[in-house]
Amino acid sequence: MTLKNKISMMLNKLFPALVGITVFVFTVGLSLFYIEGQFALLSLSLASFLTLSGAISFIGLLLLSKSLRNTDANSTKVASVANRGRWKKVFIILSMVMGSLAFLGISHYAANSIPMRWDVTKAKQHTLSKNTVDFISSLTHKVELTAFYVGMPPKYLQDLFNEYERLSAGLISTKIIDPIENISFAAKFGNVVSGKERKVIVQSGDVRKDIDFTDEPLTEEKLTNTIARASRSPRQVYFLSGHGEYSISNEDNLGLSTFKQLLADNNMQSKPLMLGITQSIPEDCDVLIIAGPRTELTQQEETLIVDYLSSGGNALFLIEQTLVTTPDKPLTAEQQQLNPSLNGIINQWGLNVQSDVVVDLTNHIGNDVGSPATKNYQKHKAITEGLDYTFYVRPRSIRVLEQRRPNIKLAAIALTTSKDQSWAETNRHLDIQFDPGIDTPGPVPISYVVLEEHPAKPSAQDKELSKPSNTRMIVFTDADFLTNIYINQYSNAQMGLNVVNWLAELDYQVFLSSKAVKVERLDLTSKQKRQVVVILFLLPFLFGIAGLVVWLRSRNN
């Protein structure tokens, strides 16, 4: 065997090893550079070794080529075949490496550009609710979120801010500031935070709202509600008083203080209104709520409300139950006048509230068949979409009047679920029995929505057609479902908020407060995260290369 053949055989064995070492050193060097974020001494050394091994490989390739050209014809053919097989192996290895790098690049690009997300956390920590997503997509003004947090901010706060930024298409910008390290920046907001306080400042135009999350984590609901209050003008809701109505200041079981707070969380301010004193409905009234009056309204008050509705006002009527008794305790004349139906107003919009009690023998709460629970909603996206059960305490039935203005549109909202086992009981002595021709068979409507469209009128100044203000009205024959004791059960709160939201003609979904979810998580430093990424990628990569080498050798053998 000649010296050239010996050198050729040696290079044949040495060259694949040099290629493997080069790929390995190159991978380790890039990994160290990625972890350290700079060219450290070790990565520089590996890079130098990579250059040296590459030079040796190149020289060896030249010598091998020259050696192969000087062999005899048979040796040339054999070497050519071996060379093609060797280069085929090298090509497969390089293809695997390039394919892996291409897969990493494409997957990284897709993860950052495609909006789809897969949240595998138990509490869906990285997933915003549909209401929040819809609200963010409807934003038209820029919003700035500035969090003041002393020390290293928690990962959940960073994730939450990142999601809001990602979904807002540039309308929401976020910052997390340590006020101790950035005193000059914090001073621009005044004395807003101390060393122990944690706050988020929401700014939209000239409006600013603060969220204090010192004692409990910042939640999506709090943040979204605050953004809504900062970016939208508040609606004014007036609750009629002076007739024994449920009070928004009452924090007992029969009060509406919880409902008032939910309205406030959705950028709607609640105020009491006593028409007997003001003699008028305020011009800034977006929604008038009449929540279960115990006594009749005066004729003047009814006229004021009718005029308000006729001019395009919006109102929610919550009519309380018809009083019932036993045969041995007949109702007095005064008791029979309690909880008026307000038909003097409602009749003018094509509805009539009956003096009966709706019962459902199969779908009710507790042992009270007079408290029907239902999911039988008519299709009204803004009001009933996504609702679970709602229930009502001794509701009445509602009938539609044939004689009504042609521009009035009516639709039931909620009806009893059962057809054969529910009806409107007219017997007020608690003798629950369906009487054909007297009682109204189910499903029985217990709430209605009314929309009256008004034609455009010429403006007094320029005689152009002004935008019509349509009348929106909703009637429920129960007020108890929104009281403090019942509002947080099933979907009662969501129903109440949806109703007022539609009456106020708001174009964003309402938000309910949810219980805080404790999420246990492992917070890593940025360097530790990069180490995890390298381990998760490098180990499978090396195992894949090793498996490929074994496979190629097994084929040769």
What is the per-residue pLDDT across 176-219, written as a single tens digit (0 to 9) for each? 988 888 887 877 777 555 667 788 999 998 888 888 888 888 88
Same domain, 411 and 471: yes
The answer to the question of residue 454 being in a domain is yes
Query: Up-side HSE of residue 285: CA atoms within 13 Å toward CB?
Result: 23
260 and 182 share one domain: no
Residues 197 and 105 in one domain: no
33 SS3 class = helix
Mean pLDDT taken over the chain: 79
CATH code at position 405:
3.40.50
In a domain, 384, yes or no: yes
pLDDT, mean of residues 156-162: 89
Instruction: State the residue for tokens 């590459």.
Output: 54
- What pLDDT is attached to residue 169? 86
Share of the chain above pLDDT 70, in %: 66
Q: For position 204, which CATH number holds? A: 3.40.30.10
Residue 205, SS3 per DSSP: coil
Q: What digits encode the pLDDT tens for the residues 286-342? A: 999 999 999 999 999 999 999 999 999 999 999 999 888 877 788 787 777 789 999
pLDDT at 508 (0 to 100): 47
Do 27 and 66 sit in the same domain of this protein? yes
Contact 119, 160 (CB under 8 A): no
Could you give the number of structural domains in the chain? Answer: 3
95: left (phi over 0), alpha (psi -120 to 50) or beta: alpha
For tokens 């064995």, the residue is 13
Which of these three, 503, 519, 547, is where a domain ends? 503
Handedness of CA 128, 129, 130, 135 (dihedral sign): negative
For residue 515, name the pLDDT band (cuts at 50, 70, 90): very low
Assigned domain for 464 exists? yes
Q: Does residue 106 share a domain with residue 196? A: no
Q: Six-digit token pair at 222? A: 């709090």
Position 38 scores a pLDDT of 53
Question: Strand 235-240 and strand 268-273: pairing?
Answer: parallel
Residue 369 in any domain: the answer is: yes
pLDDT, one tens digit per residue, over 80-95 is 555 556 566 666 666 7
Q: Residue 54 — pLDDT band, cuts 50, 70, 90?
A: low
Higher-confidence residue of 128 and 9: namely 128
Residue after which a domain boundary falls, among 225, 242, 264: 225
Whether the predicted pLDDT of 499 surpasses 50: yes
Higher-confidence position of 406 and 506: 406
The pair of three-digit structure tokens given for residue 61, joined into one six-digit string = 């390739």
More confident residue, 444 or 59: 444
φ and ψ at residue 444, rounded to 5 degrees: -100, 125
Asked whether residue 203 falls in the same domain as residue 328, the answer is no
Position 108 scores a pLDDT of 61
Which stretch of 9-13, 143-147, 369-373, 407-411 has the lowest confidence by average pLDDT? Answer: 9-13
Q: Express each pLDDT in 95-125 by its tens digit.
A: 766 676 667 667 666 665 665 655 555 555 5
Residues 95 and 141 in one domain: no
In a domain, 251, yes or no: yes
- Write down the residue that tokens 């408290």 correspond to: 371
3-state secondary structure 469-483: CCEEEEEECCCHHHC
- Is 297 within a domain? yes
Residues of the domain holding 537 = 3-115+527-556
Concatenating the DSSP letter of every residue in 206-258 gives: TEEEEEE-SSS---HHHHHHHHHHHHSPPEEEEEE-SSSPPPTT--STT--HH
Q: 142, 6, 129: which is closest to 64 by C-alpha? A: 6
- Amino acid 517: pLDDT: 42
Q: Are residues 373 and 456 in the same domain?
A: yes
Query: Is 474 within a domain?
Result: yes
* Cβ–Cβ < 8 Å for 199, 213: yes
SS3 of the chain: helix, strand, coil, percent, to 5: 40, 15, 40
**Which of these three, 204, 225, 246, is where a domain ends?**
225
239 and 220 fall within a common domain: no
Closest CA to 528 of 164, 34, 198, 131: 34
Question: Is the predicted pLDDT of residue 71 greater than 90, yes or no?
Answer: no
Confidence class for position 512, pLDDT limits 50, 70, 90 = low
Q: Are residues 239 and 380 located together in one domain of the fold? A: yes
CB neighbours of 54 closer than 8 A, spacing ≥ 6? 22
**CA–CA–CA angle 237, 261, 192 (5° rounding):** 110
Confidence of residue 361 (pLDDT cuts 50, 70, 90): very high
Tokens 């070794």 label which residue? 49
**154 and 26 belong to one structural domain:** no
Kindly state whether residue 267 falls inside one of the protein's structural domains: yes
Question: Which helix (H) or strand (E) element contains residue 288?
Answer: strand 287-291
Residues 306 and 369 in one domain: yes
In angstroms, rounded to a whole number, what is the distance separating the alpha carbons of residues 82 and 77? 9
Confidence at residue 434, expressed as pLDDT on a 0 to 100 scale: 92
Q: Is the separation of the CB atoms in 242 and 286 below 8 Å?
A: no
> Does residue 61 have a pLDDT over 80?
no
